Chains A and B, each alone.
Chain A
Amino acid sequence: MSQKEIAFTGRIIASLSHEIKNVLATIKESAGLMEDILSLRPETDAPHQARLVKAAGNIRKQVDRGVDVVMGLNRFAHSMDEPMAQIDLNELTAQMAFLMQRFAHKSAIGLSAAPYSEPLNIVTDPFRLEMLLAAALDVCLTRADKGSGLVIQPCRVEGRPAVWIGAAPDEPPDTLPPTVAFPEDLFALKGDLEHLQVNIYDCGSAGLHGVLILFK
């Protein structure tokens, strides 16, 4: 997609997600009002009162869940705003764990994000970096054993910002192992590496279960 097409897609998704938030806000207040009314005289034995209270509570919980989803969708849409933008890798990796949660769940793998101890800001193409990280996560999900855990975390390797996607309990390396190789199953993304100014390393040959995305 061209940048113009990406920006258009992002604008429409962002606009619709804002509208969904308005819908959820109205549902939440309506359910809340039902609960308020039902709690006015809790001692009464009105027909189905307990069931109505439970139903209103369920609506509120599902709205909260919907809000989390729509916030994630909204952040994703805004990643398409600009071809280059400053981002914090802590926020981006948390967002990626959120966006890929369903895929991880389908593979019966626990996916989580672990923040770096301080903000790790870089200037990059946020949308294409998300695509690259999603592809790397897909590969790692395919390789991981069912029931295992996968962590995506920003880190510094040889002083440079990086993102590590690895199987717990392996930690990202402090230095680049000499034997690392480019993961063959990510070959299709090789064209984006120059644009994103990153290298990808498969650390399996160095005895680590993970993929390292290192910024130049």
Chain B
Amino acid sequence: MEKFKVLLVDDEEVFVRTLSERLQMPDLESQTAFDGEQALEVVRDGIPDVMVLDLKMPGIDGMEVLRRMKKHYPNVQVIILTGQGSDKDEAEARRLGAFDYLQKPVNLEHLIEVLKRAYQNKMDRPLKTDTFSEA
């Protein structure tokens, strides 16, 4: 598998930095963002293959980031990783196109497995046109 880019988005800075450090692997490059706005800025500078996204964040919340990502960057696979989601949130996230919905804390091995599946899913599907200027 070639190297793929993952963007981790969570306002729990220590959590997301530590997770990013643990995800330093030969076939994976991880970046971090600490709120929705920053995540969209990072995406504008370089589109990731997969985004791991918390739902409850100050400012633009995760659900809105997901909505914008699927609208403007439909090829990016978004995995929700939250400690606060309800069944209703999960249904809504999946309806908006989230690749998977995980609860915090997650086992690293499971997260890596889902990340690889998400990347493979991206590679297996015909690419859609990104409309990043509007995001």
- The residues of A with any CB-CB pair to B shorter than 8 Å are 18-19, 21-22, 24-26, 28-30, 32-33, 36, 63, 67, 78
CB distance from B127 to the nearest CB of A (A): 33
> What are 13 residue pairs bridging A and B, where the CB atoms are less than 8 Å apart in the complex?
A18-B56, A18-B84, A21-B104, A22-B12, A26-B12, A26-B14, A28-B105, A29-B15, A29-B108, A30-B14, A32-B22, A33-B21, A36-B22
CB distance from B105 to the nearest CB of A (A): 4
What string of 1s and 0s marks CB contacts (under 8 Å) between B76-101 and chain A?
00000001101000000000000000
- CB-nearest residue of chain B to A71: B103
Tell me if B108 and A22 are in contact (CB < 8 A): no
Partner of A21, one of B19, B22, B105, B108: B105
Besides the contacts A22-B15, A32-B22, what 20 more A-B pairs have beta carbons closer than 8 Å?
Answer: A21-B83, A21-B84, A21-B103, A21-B104, A21-B105, A22-B83, A25-B12, A25-B15, A26-B12, A26-B18, A29-B18, A29-B19, A29-B22, A29-B105, A29-B108, A32-B108, A33-B18, A33-B22, A63-B105, A67-B105
Residues in A neighbouring B84, C-beta threshold 8 A: 18, 21
Within 8 A of A (CB), among B19-67: 19, 21-22, 56
- CB-nearest residue of chain B to A70: B83
Residues in B neighbouring A21, C-beta threshold 8 A: 83-84, 103-105
Majority DSSP secondary structure for residues of A touching B? helix
CB distance from A213 to the nearest CB of B (A): 26
Tell me if B21 and A25 are in contact (CB < 8 A): no
Tell me if A18 and B14 are in contact (CB < 8 A): no
CB distance from A35 to the nearest CB of B (A): 10
**Distance, CA A24 to CA B18, complexed state (A):** 13
- CB-nearest residue of chain B to A81: B86
**Distance, CA A18 to CA B103, complexed state (A):** 11
**Distance, CA A36 to CA B25, complexed state (A):** 12
Partner of A22, one of B19, B21, B22, B104: B104
**Distance, CA A22 to CA B11, complexed state (A):** 10
